[in-house]
Amino acid sequence: MREISDIGKLIDSYKAYLMLERGVSENTRQAYVADVSKLLGWLSGEGMKLRDAGADDLHSFLAAVHDIGVSVRTQARILSGIKSFYRFLVAEGYVDENPTLKVDSPNIGRYLPEVLTVDEIDAMIASVDLEKPEGQRNRAILETLYGCGMRVSELVNLELDKVFAGERYVVVRGKGSKERVVPISETALDEIARYMEEYRPTLKIKPGEENILFLNRRGHRLTRVMVFYIVKEAADRVGITKEISPHTLRHSFASHLLEGGANLRAIQQMLGHESIATTELYLHIDRSRLREEILMYHPRNVRRQL
């Protein structure tokens, strides 16, 4: 297997492959290289090498892309570029296996993550082995992910001084460093308190990470991939066969709020969506439900009903 010693030279070789072997247009070549750059940047941020990335890691990357609001059509195009790149890596002997063969393209017609039932989520949280040192931390993570509907990037960067236990809310820093206030349940706060008492004091916290809530065994903040595995392993333990990720807990949180009668605007604010249209698509709300909300609360209609 050939060594990958210089990423810049590897990309140059890939560009030549696209032009000479594939004969793609200049626009397609630029798009594919940009897609690969996104993947390489994400892997670097997760502390991973290209050669070590597997199908689960690529799923996690695509979930992160989805999480920042990239359209499903663009997600499919990014995956197409990555698949082309891995065909090149296999053909040139840089990797032995092609992990993209196990990654399906999102349904352009309507891609929506799975929704877990409350019972399934309860079972996942209850399945965490508290005999393991990190067990209480993992239980607190699952409870917080679901209870606050956070993006995984928001969870791994959640700060201690942004958790207001007395007032039962957390301040979450979302996309564009915008902060929002999200209520947090007593259950999640209890799990966090136990984690703070039982596990966190045993850690040798690295400089600069003192204010980060959730840490790994080495005292660093968690990576997105680590949280992905925590969620996936909990689902596997209770026999859940749905394709899930941390994003699934966020989606389930919002769907359960909607089913329980929560206001659509409140859900939008808790999720940190810029547009209510994003919330509508994200929660797979049908047009008739949204129309009923508008007809019920629009001031012109309210006045007519008085």
* Active-site residue list: 151, 175, 247, 250, 273, 282
| Region at 91 (left for phi over 0; alpha for psi -120 to 50; beta for the rest) | alpha
- Cα distances from 150 to residues 71, 96, 106, 186, 284, in angstroms, run 19, 36, 22, 17, 18
In single-letter form, the type of residue at position 66 comes to: H
> Among candidates 9, 27, 6, 29, which has minimal Cα distance to 19?
29
Separation between Cα atoms, residue 232 and residue 245, nearest integer Å: 6
Pair 127, 230: CB distance under 8 Å? no
CA angle 300, 301, 302 (to 5 degrees): 95
Separation between Cα atoms, residue 259 and residue 31, nearest integer Å: 40
List, in sequence order, the alpha helices (H) in the chain: 7-17, 26-45, 55-67, 72-91, 118-126, 135-148, 152-156, 186-198, 224-237, 246-259, 264-271, 276-282, 287-297, 299-305
